């Protein structure tokens, strides 16, 4: 390895020293010796953004995208119908592409390496902190949902007087050690805690690859069963449009959430394989969602402190505290609907659509076109409308559910 300094011509514009000095490797690749100055908070500016491998980034991102959403697609089709469901998926995909494109453009223009940095560049410290609060609320809600689903799959659940046996209960019978609380304790201490202790998200690339594989196992088996049942003529043709009977049916179209179907119309072995693969998949998704949760909470609470990866005490306390909150939430929140509907109708909408559109409308770097602003206004209006309708529908369902026993 040799170190050299690039010489400039007299007519060339003067550049900072950090751009002139570089390290030259044998294969002629060059990396700067002096890293560019960061303008973001300490918690984000000292993170090793350029240390992740390409394969690791692909697997971690794929795992994050799949998450528990793999179960949301059947529920979406059930509520909306096949035609409207597919149209809605395509429509949301277009909005997501536009939203991500806005973030990337403003990230490049402002030299920011994180979502919080882009928000801080557009709206200052207040904007950065609002985003961090939304990420913390959204991710902790998602992790609670994951724990609830894992507990339901492994230990079973009871709703409306009907008990659905979990995998362990079906295999070994009902015992104290396969109860919900004990299973979640073992899962938390044996799986979540060790994986959450990695300080670099790239260290999770192998578990993320396994999570993606398990998701494909789930899809392959369910698709095979669906095709086989269709060929045998034992399944009905799915509805093309939603079944709308009253105004509440219309509100329900805005509150599509994932539902875990524990009993499938297939042989027992395939049923168990699907359930085990999905439970393991969620266990491996957990640390990938946990990483930005811890990072954003640290950036919100300690914006001027030393980097989180260099402070073992702060790192350990945040990790233990967040895992404990998720564990307690999973044991005291009775249903995934309560946690998932709240986070999906509020913070998830803000993170995915409202904040990127607000950044475009703010246009702090003058790169937003008239078309971008028009789409941003449409995206904000649609997100606010859907969020308000979802919150109203969820609250109405909860009040109706609580009022029904008193009438009897």
pLDDT tens, position by position, 54-68:
888 888 888 887 776
Q: What three-state secondary structure class fits 31?
A: strand
Q: What is the spatial distance between Cα 283 and Cα 295, in angstroms, rounded to a whole number? A: 20
Rounded Cα–Cα distance for residues 290 and 56 (Å): 16
pLDDT value of residue 56:
82
Residue 21 pairs in a beta bridge with 5
Angle between helices 355-362 and 82-110 (to 10 degrees): 50
Q: What is the pLDDT of residue 291?
A: 93
Return the pLDDT at 294: 94
DSSP secondary structure letter of residue 12: S
CB atoms within 10 A of CB 329: 18
Q: Residues of the chain whose pLDDT is less than 70?
A: 1-52, 68-72, 75, 158-164, 235-268, 334-341, 401-408
Domain boundaries, the chain: 1-36, 56-401
Residue with tokens 């875990």: 260
User: What b/e sequence results for 300-316 when a residue is b if at least 16 CB atoms lie within 10 Å of its CB, and e otherwise?
Assistant: bebbeeebbbeeeebbe
Cβ atoms of residues 52 and 202 within 8 Å: yes
Please report how the helices 115-155 and 355-362 are oriented relative to each other, as an axis angle in degrees rounded to 10. 170
d(CA 305, CA 290) in angstroms, rounded, equals 21
Quote the CA–CA distance of 357 and 374 in Å, as a whole number. Answer: 10
d(CA 181, CA 171): 18
User: Residue 159 is inside which H or E element, if any?
Assistant: strand 156-159
CB 334 within 8 A of CB 74: no
Residue with tokens 């950044």: 359
Looking at residue 331, its pLDDT comes to 86
3-state DSSP assignment of residue 284: helix
Length of the chain: 408
Q: Which residues pair with 163 in a beta bridge?
A: 158
CA 311 to chain CA centroid, nearest Å: 26
Rounded to two decimals, the pTM is 0.76
- pLDDT value of position 196: 93
3-class DSSP state of 157:
strand
Q: What is the pLDDT of residues 169-226, one digit of tens each?
A: 878 777 788 788 899 999 999 999 999 999 888 888 899 899 889 888 888 887 887 7
Tell me, what's the pLDDT at 192?
Answer: 94
């Amino acid at each position: 390895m040799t170190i050299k300094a690039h010489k400039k011509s007299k007519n060339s514009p003067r550049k900072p020293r950090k751009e002139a000095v570089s390290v030259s490797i044998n294969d002629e690749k060059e990396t700067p010796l002096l890293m560019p100055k960061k303008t973001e908070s300490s918690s984000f500016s000292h993170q090793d953004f350029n240390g992740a491998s390409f394969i690791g980034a692909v697997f971690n991102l794929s795992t994050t995208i799949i998450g528990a959403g793999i179960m949301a697609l059947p529920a979406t089709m059930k509520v909306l119908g096949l035609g409207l469901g597919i149209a809605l998926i395509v429509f949301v995909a277009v909005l997501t592409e536009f939203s991500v494109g806005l973030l990337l453009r403003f990230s490049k223009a402002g030299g920011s390496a994180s979502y919080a940095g882009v928000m801080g560049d557009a709206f200052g410290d207040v904007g950065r902190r609002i985003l961090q609060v939304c990420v913390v609320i959204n991710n902790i809600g998602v992790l609670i949902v994951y724990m609830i689903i894992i507990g339901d799959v492994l230990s079973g659940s009871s709703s409306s007087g009907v008990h659905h046996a979990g995998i362990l209960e079906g295999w070994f019978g009902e015992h104290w050690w396969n109860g919900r609380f004990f299973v979640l304790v073992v899962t938390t201490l044996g799986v979540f805690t060790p994986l959450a202790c990695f300080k670099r998200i790239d260290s999770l690339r192998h578990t993320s690859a396994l999570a993606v594989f398990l998701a494909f196992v789930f899809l392959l088996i369910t698709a095979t069963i669906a095709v086989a049942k269709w060929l045998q003529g034992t399944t009905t043709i799915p509805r093309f449009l939603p079944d709308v009977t009253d105004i509440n049916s219309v509100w329900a179209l805005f509150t599509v959430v994932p539902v875990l179907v524990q009993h499938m119309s297939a042989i027992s072995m395939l049923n168990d394989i699907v359930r085990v693969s999905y439970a393991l998949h969620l266990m491996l998704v957990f640390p990938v969602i946990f990483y930005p949760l811890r990072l954003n909470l640290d950036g919100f609470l300690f914006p001027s402190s030393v980097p989180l990866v260099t402070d073992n005490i702060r790192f350990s306390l945040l990790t233990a505290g967040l895992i404990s909150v998720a564990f307690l939430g999973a044991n005291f929140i009775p249903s995934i609907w309560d946690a998932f509907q709240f986070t999906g109708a509020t913070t998830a909408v803000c993170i995915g659509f409202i904040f990127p559109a607000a950044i475009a409308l703010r246009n702090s770097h003058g790169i937003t076109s008239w078309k971008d602003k028009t789409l941003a206004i449409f995206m904000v209006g649609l997100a606010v409308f859907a969020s308000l309708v979802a919150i109203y529908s969820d609250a109405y369902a909860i009040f109706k559910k609580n009022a029904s026993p008193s009438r009897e």
